[in-house]
Structure 1
Amino acid sequence: MDERARTLLKTLVERYIADGQPVGSRTLSRASGLELSPATIRNVMADLEDLGLIASPHTSAGRVPTPRGYRLFVDTMLTARPVDLAHEPPEMAGVREQLQPDQPQRVIAQAAQLLSNLSHFVGVITAPKRAGVFHHIEFMRLGEKRVLVILVSSDGDVQNRVIFTTRDYSQSELAEATALLNNHYTGLAIDEMRGRLHGEIETLRAEIAVLMQVAVQAGSDALSEGSEQVIVSGERNLLGVEDFGHDLGSLRKMFNLFEQKTELMRLLENSSRAEGVRIYIGGESGVVPYESLSVVSAPYEVDGRVVGTLAVVGPTRMAYERMIQLVDITARLVGNALSGPR
């Protein structure tokens, strides 16, 4: 492609992203700044169409980019500037305050919602794999044969479980079990706790041993139930996207994709091995097989180690430069929040 064809393709993609309407030769002539006749522009557009970079929808005289055209635009014509976290775009103001590191699971859920709200598309994030390491436990008597177990994992996540016991425990007995677990089992994984407790059970008073076993099982259940791997937010935003808002078949497939989450998990795991922002356009990921969808993703790090990936999923007609900055900044802010003091 010569420079003239590149300029016209870049202009066509930018106009189509902005307006959502097929771009005609007259619009290209005005917007490109090139002094070319309408006939010359039509000839160049015909060449671009032969290359599979643009297409003519239905009977319209205008043209729209194909996934291949978007890919060339993103790879060679986009000038997404890195953003300094100290000088965030106005739309990101306040995001840092919303990602408070009080509970990691809350940070993850907030990040997915922020991506959705700011992009107006779908926000997706994989949660860090839970370490399952016991940090602190507390027993509180709720009533006869009912005990509240408060578990704090090593990553600061808090889980509450109500357990039903075969006998009534006094608060002093619960305090004894609390002290035993916190003094002798802190820093162990739940499975290690279970193994050590099984070996020491004969040295404990029977009623305390039973209570501690029930608590360990409750901790195991809490960690497994609270470890959803993929968080999705804003699926309904796709209903308002004009590009496929009337294609009920495509929408149904997309909602199945977000509901099942398995394919999204594969895609985000692949993205976690890349450095920086990665863009999948149309069906080129082989995982999200829809030509009308694109994915802009980036891994996030905790204490220098990649632990998850986040992404915006939306139509191929998206403002890629803005999405790249949004995903990049959010990934860094999530990493900072999760790396903060526990």
Structure 2
Amino acid sequence: MLNERAQILLKTLVERYIHEGQPVGSRSLSKFSGLELSPATIRNVMADLEEMGLVMSPHTSAGRIPTAKGYRLFVDQLLVIKSLRDEELHHLENQLHPDNPSRLVNAASQLLSELTHFAGVVVTPKRTGAVFRYIEFMALSEKRILLIIVTPEGDVQNRIIFTATPYSQSDLIEAGNFINQHYAGCTLDQIRGRIHTELKQLRQDMTTLMNAAIEAGGDAVNESSEVVVLAGERKLLDTLDASESLASLKKLFALFERKTKLLQLLELSRHAHGVKIFIGGESDNAAFDEFSVITAPYEMEGAIVGTVGVIGPRRMAYERVIPIVDVTAKLLSSSLSQQ
């Protein structure tokens, strides 16, 4: 626990570093903290904060900058959230009016980037009633089968099915042909409802295979239907400090390209109540070590269906970005529920 003097000095240091982007020295702390302290006293407090891992001294300067741990304490205990300006709120309300879901999600991502000058990110709602174009089975071994599903959009999903009964390749071709002939263009949920009454003419073991395929196929297509929409990633190029390495940005952009790890991180906030903040290494992914991610879940008719967020440097104006993410999530929820 920090005493009041140390809290004020840490708060001042973080705020000055966010504002100026330069290591903060004793003179600035004395000027902006409002405390009547000697430079020697301030240096002693800074030494204590450094020993606690809350600040650090870059080798190029006598001043100090906050660590990820220092930012965390600042956000959790010292931050004063600012309300959105009226023009920002009206801009969000005007852009996030009820429309089709894909337009709303893209608009939300663009607005988050536009208002924060960082990368805006939205996880889209999972599509229900997924349709397939065709299904194919391929034998991997006697009781391991590769299920290949192609959607109307051309997406290909694979799942491995483990079966109790061995199937020959001719059996698998027969099963695939039957499903494609009778059910192509139907949703997997529709097939699931019809399969019990319409497969009586097939052998029981073939019915078992098809049931397994529909279950696995439903999981595969539903998982693939969740998409990460990014906007403004290039703006992060303008946020690097001299003390930060371009290598960290390259890692982040590689993560953007794959999106799987990013989706896993954003999934964590789906179960959060309100805004969730990941600072640096708290995300358990090296690509985020120099960055912070601020997220909030959004709803449709009372059920959480996705996540909105902002990815930016650890040196960001948290008091402003947090309410932007929070309000965007709430407005998106309201618009989606009005459709």
Residue 271 of structure 1 corresponds to which residue in structure 2?
Answer: 269
Whether 1:100 aligns to 2:100 is no
Residue 178 of structure 1 corresponds to which residue in structure 2?
Answer: none
Whether 1:132 aligns to 2:129 is yes
Whether 1:262 aligns to 2:260 is yes
Tell me the secondary structure at the aligned position of residue 272 of structure 1. Answer: helix
State the distance in 2 between where 1:25 and 1:245 align.
Answer: 20
Structure 1 residue 231: Cα displacement: 0.8
Deviations 1:127-148 (A, max 9, x none): 11111279xxxxxxxxxxxxxx
Whether 1:296 aligns to 2:294 is yes
Deviations 1:288-310 (A, max 9, x none): 65321101111111111111111
Residue 59 of structure 1 corresponds to which residue in structure 2?
Answer: 60
Amino acid at match of 1:9: L
The aligned runs of 1:4-153 (5 Å cut-off) are 4-80=5-81, 89-132=86-129
Amino acid at match of 2:35: L
Deviations 1:146-198 (A, max 9, x none): xxxxxxxxxxxxxx99xxxxxxxxxxxxxxxxxxxxxxxxxx97235557899
Structure 1 residue 267: Cα displacement: 0.8
Tell me the secondary structure at the aligned position of residue 283 of structure 1. Answer: helix
Taking structure 1 as reference, are residues 47 and 245 closer, same or farther at Cα in structure 2, changes over 3 Å only? closer
Partners of 1:17 and 1:318 within 8 A in 2: yes
Tell me the secondary structure at the aligned position of residue 60 of structure 1. Answer: coil
Whether 1:311 aligns to 2:312 is no
Taking structure 1 as reference, are residues 40 and 120 closer, same or farther at Cα in structure 2, changes over 3 Å only? same
Deviations 1:237-265 (A, max 9, x none): 11111326973322211100111111111
State the distance in 2 between where 1:332 and 1:288 align.
Answer: 30
State the distance in 2 between where 1:108 and 1:125 align.
Answer: 7
Whether 1:324 aligns to 2:322 is yes
State the distance in 2 between where 1:80 and 1:49 align.
Answer: 26
Tell me the secondary structure at the aligned position of residue 11 of structure 2. Answer: helix
Taking structure 1 as reference, are residues 278 and 272 closer, same or farther at Cα in structure 2, changes over 3 Å only? same
Tell me the secondary structure at the aligned position of residue 283 of structure 2. Answer: coil
State the distance in 1 between where 2:251 and 2:47 align.
Answer: 33
Taking structure 1 as reference, are residues 43 and 127 closer, same or farther at Cα in structure 2, changes over 3 Å only? same
TM (norm. structure 2) is 0.72
State the distance in 1 between where 2:90 and 2:308 align.
Answer: 19
TM (norm. structure 1) is 0.71
Partners of 2:126 and 2:222 within 8 A in 1: no
Partners of 2:126 and 2:223 within 8 A in 1: no
State the distance in 2 between where 1:30 and 1:243 align.
Answer: 24
State the distance in 2 between where 1:246 and 1:46 align.
Answer: 23
Structure 1 residue 79: Cα displacement: 2.1
Taking structure 1 as reference, are residues 244 and 59 closer, same or farther at Cα in structure 2, changes over 3 Å only? closer
Amino acid at match of 1:38: P
Partners of 1:243 and 1:315 within 8 A in 2: no
Amino acid at match of 1:42: R
Gaps of 5+ in 1: 135-159, 162-187, 201-219
Residue 164 of structure 2 corresponds to which residue in structure 1?
Answer: none
Aligned-pair Cα RMSD in Å? 2.8
State the distance in 2 between where 1:279 and 1:196 align.
Answer: 42
Tell me the secondary structure at the aligned position of residue 313 of structure 1. Answer: strand
Deviations 1:41-68 (A, max 9, x none): 1111111111111011113011000000
Tell me the secondary structure at the aligned position of residue 325 of structure 1. Answer: helix
Taking structure 1 as reference, are residues 111 and 40 closer, same or farther at Cα in structure 2, changes over 3 Å only? same
Taking structure 1 as reference, are residues 288 and 268 closer, same or farther at Cα in structure 2, changes over 3 Å only? farther
Tell me the secondary structure at the aligned position of residue 288 of structure 2. Answer: coil
State the distance in 1 between where 2:50 and 2:279 align.
Answer: 18
Gaps of 5+ in 2: 132-151, 154-184, 199-217
State the distance in 2 between where 1:76 and 1:246 align.
Answer: 26
State the distance in 2 between where 1:302 and 1:88 align.
Answer: 26
Sequence identity, in percent?
A: 54
State the distance in 1 between where 2:129 and 2:243 align.
Answer: 42
Tell me the secondary structure at the aligned position of residue 115 of structure 2. Answer: helix
